[in-house]
Structure 1
């Protein structure tokens, strides 16, 4: 008898609710076949079978709250079947594939998507059914919240079936296609395991929404059609209901303008409707969540760029010759912000529940526009880097961002962000916070303007600076002090060298 127990749920998570059982007592299960789904206040966790056999008993039914390592079910030996088998003839046919003189079918699975990424959307198929493919030839492209992932062919052969068509959302263990007549021996065990993964989807229509979600909808008088489910097969989870509740007032307020204006037949023929990419959907959601969560406020100042520009012009050739990278303005602003963050540490902190977490380091996020949307690669420990180190890191991250090659890890963990709208000609803006950060500096266009200097009107290259901050943690005094310190450091760059 094999016990099925609650897996590790994550740091500080001690309990979960049994949301859905995919199997019932008496069902035969394969190794790693999904048995049930647990729901915590943060994530949804699938529980695979630790052994092949028969599900003899379910100890924790749907809706029950269980702790870490609690007993969920028991699996008895016998009556086991391979994960991909659904009937006896298929099992009998398996040995024939091992004979070595017949072509094998190889499954094309979703590759590793990165830490914390659980699903992707099939954006483009480069091949169609019937096409001959070579090993490692690109078959399709997947799009996640942050990056695009190309899927190579695991073997040479013919693309015999496309299971996940363009626009389909797939999880991290899904099968995308099948390569028929593949050359080379394929491992039967992984194939069996992979074929087992779609099992929950086969019964998806019979799986109800999470019990905790149904209970909360009943309490709030909501119906399922008012909530968009994010769970497997579109089932509604508790957090989906909570999001719907949170957005209800905003939706109500916007109701008068929400309906699309009537469009004539002539105008409709000239319109183009394009589905938002997952990256654009994520950007939209995060920006709106930031506005809804933080008490966001923006304060402004302006900086005379004369000294920075003079210093840059004087040393840019020598800098490039020695370090192999151009001396730009971003390293000056990064250094100036690091200098200011030391004096106003709350701008480099974040709120966690009722705690304030101060960061004794600076992981600087540098916002970068790409053809697919805005991303924020993070330069880790920027406070320990030189001007040359910062410029090299910015150039390298920027190039990877434009090529769509940034990993999830490279865009996580930032403590403060700089956004340069000036490269697009922006003269003034209010940047939106990048949660859970408490501050973001907006740079703008350098413009010659008449300024009063020592009683005389002179033309100076001026730039407006904007600091958006979370007023829950940063007071107005701290925000203004931060901008003044940045201004002072840029107008007299020698202060950065002497830490003044």
Structure 2
């Protein structure tokens, strides 16, 4: 059965093989995603035309292929099972390195005395899951289990960070975490192996090399799979958190400051102590909190060096830095300003917020007013909702509104799709859901793709005025700021009004000054007289 490049769309003559999700020799189901192709416009997923074994990959990752070109071949029949042995040199080499070779496994069992060879289950690889569109690598952020620990099927083993989202990796089966092949901090490819689980009831004995070591007496501890057999077993721990591994940066800081685990309250998974927990403990006054029990430490010559800490940038932060710099280098970015009297919106919100929440189950905020006002203005000035594609300008007949959200990991921009068709309640619900997902690190890649315009609210942090940076390939971003009472002239009299500065950054390559100013004026008019939104004025 041949796997060929599907139709790529009008005027698209070639594509690049971005990622293979399945390896040669692996079983596939009908319609299972095999690989991902990238064109200059879209990303295309290629499904399996039938069930079987992926016999040969013809077009490797990185190759350029034409429409209808041969990508791979699938062998159907009775041999199409996941237990099929590797049938290519590359596979056999990978299998032997990872401990998957049947002969190697049998020889290891016989060398250990053969006592556990028949009872212990086979070795099960833990692989990097599908990371999503155009993502080819990730960083291992946290391991929740240690080598030698028992795991249940679907129990979370580790967490990966990509440049867009965090991905949790579940255990594919129950057993013992035999070895971790990708430690914390390591960068792994989309098809890499993370660890090996030894399945079966005797998995612990097989992992340690002997049946006696697999059965510690009551009250004893599990063997240390990272030490030599001659090492003495570690004493039993009295820590109620058991064998939870604290963050490496937290361990280093606790050692430097003379703190023990009992001095710090861990807020991570299963009580894991994070760096922020140590900082919090250190910031507590003497006599308050567990950190107060730490004995005073005399200054040392190394204290000066301890005043600095080098921490590798997360993949999310690296991506933020790269995209923002690309925006400055690529777009002809300019910012224009205006100010809006928020009296009408604040009065309307104050009058109807209780009824709104009672009926719709969500609070009425300012963001729905700004989203509606921007959608209204984008219809009149469509170039602000457009993007440049080569020598073409692509005008969007819809509004996918990006809402910039600050998280502990960095700035993310979830997208509210078809915001121009949503009601006030629909917008508020969507913003609330995306905001919670962003703070919890649960945003998917799809949640942050396809935006046509962005709103950034620096006012929540107290910003009075700023120039937001474009979110490529978008051509406009609106910056909201702090609402502050200022003296303004109304009807010939000076009065105090709640005023907000608005800033529109735009790509001057396709948005002229007239269009930018018109956009801001329309937003201002809609907010100062919200009835205009109802009458489409």
Specify if TM > 0.5.
Answer: yes
Q: Quick one: which of 383, 386, 389 aligns to 1:346? A: 383
1:166 maps to 2:165: no
| 1:270-285 pair list within 5 angstroms | 270-285=307-322
Judge conservation of contact 2:8–2:44 (CA < 8 Å) in 1.
no
Q: Relative contact order (alpha carbons < 8 A, sep ≥ 6): 1 or 2 greater?
A: 1
1:366 maps to 2:366: no
Quick one: distance in 2 between partners of 1:411 and 1:73? 31
Q: Quick one: which of 449, 471, 487 aligns to 1:450? A: 487
| 1:225-304 pair list within 5 angstroms | 267-304=304-341
Judge conservation of contact 1:155–1:184 (CA < 8 Å) in 2.
no
Residue 101 of structure 1 and its aligned partner are, at CA, apart by 4.2
CA change 1:51–1:157 in 2 (3 A) is closer
Q: Quick one: which of 128, 144, 151 aligns to 1:126? A: 144
Residue 136 of structure 1 and its aligned partner are, at CA, apart by 2.1
Residue 379 of structure 1 and its aligned partner are, at CA, apart by 0.7
CA change 1:65–1:113 in 2 (3 A) is closer
1:82 maps to 2:81: no
Judge conservation of contact 2:400–2:416 (CA < 8 Å) in 1.
yes
1:108 maps to 2:126: yes
Judge conservation of contact 1:6–1:72 (CA < 8 Å) in 2.
yes
Deviations, residues 400-428 of structure 1 (Å, cap 9, x unaligned): 11111111111111111110000000000
Residue 133 of structure 1 and its aligned partner are, at CA, apart by 1.9
Q: Secondary structure at the match of 2:92?
A: coil
Q: Quick one: which of 148, 172, 193 aligns to 1:154? A: 172
Quick one: distance in 2 between partners of 1:184 and 1:113? 33
| 1:58-73 pair list within 5 angstroms | 67-69=66-68
| 1:14-29 pair list within 5 angstroms | 14-15=13-14
CA change 1:100–1:42 in 2 (3 A) is farther
TM-score (norm 2): 0.66
Quick one: distance in 2 between partners of 1:113 and 1:38? 14
Residue 141 of structure 1 and its aligned partner are, at CA, apart by 0.6
Quick one: distance in 2 between partners of 1:345 and 1:415? 11
TM-score (norm 1): 0.71
Q: Secondary structure at the match of 2:468?
A: coil
Residue 438 of structure 1 and its aligned partner are, at CA, apart by 0.7
Instruction: Identify the residue that residue 145 of structure 1 maps to in structure 2.
Output: 163
Deviations, residues 157-180 of structure 1 (Å, cap 9, x unaligned): 211111111112222221110011
Cα root mean square deviation, aligned: 4.0
Quick one: distance in 2 between partners of 1:394 and 1:129? 41
Q: Secondary structure at the match of 1:334?
A: helix
Deviations, residues 275-319 of structure 1 (Å, cap 9, x unaligned): 000000000011011111111000000000011111111111111
Query: Is 106-115 or 274-283 further displaced after alignment?
Result: 106-115
CA change 1:10–1:129 in 2 (3 A) is farther
CA change 1:339–1:271 in 2 (3 A) is same
Q: Quick one: which of 498, 523, 531 aligns to 1:486? A: 523
Q: Secondary structure at the match of 1:332?
A: helix
CA change 1:17–1:334 in 2 (3 A) is closer
Judge conservation of contact 2:43–2:133 (CA < 8 Å) in 1.
no
Deviations, residues 16-66 of structure 1 (Å, cap 9, x unaligned): 7999xxxxxxxxx85699xxx99987999999998658x9xx9x9999986
Equivalences, count: 401
Quick one: distance in 2 between partners of 1:401 and 1:451? 38
Q: Secondary structure at the match of 1:151?
A: strand
Q: Secondary structure at the match of 1:114?
A: coil
CA change 1:476–1:331 in 2 (3 A) is same
Quick one: distance in 1 between partners of 2:420 and 2:380? 13
Quick one: distance in 1 between partners of 2:72 and 2:442? 42
Residue 268 of structure 1 and its aligned partner are, at CA, apart by 3.3
| 1:187-202 pair list within 5 angstroms | none
Residue 118 of structure 1 and its aligned partner are, at CA, apart by 2.4
Query: Is 39-48 or 362-371 further displaced after alignment?
Result: 39-48
Quick one: distance in 2 between partners of 1:298 and 1:143? 33
Unaligned runs of 5+ in 2: 19-23, 29-35, 76-84, 110-116, 204-300
Quick one: distance in 2 between partners of 1:407 and 1:17? 24
Instruction: Identify the residue that residue 197 of structure 2 maps to in structure 1.
Output: 179
CA change 1:164–1:46 in 2 (3 A) is farther
Instruction: Identify the residue that residue 382 of structure 1 maps to in structure 2.
Output: 419
CA change 1:41–1:467 in 2 (3 A) is closer
Instruction: Identify the residue that residue 411 of structure 1 maps to in structure 2.
Output: 448
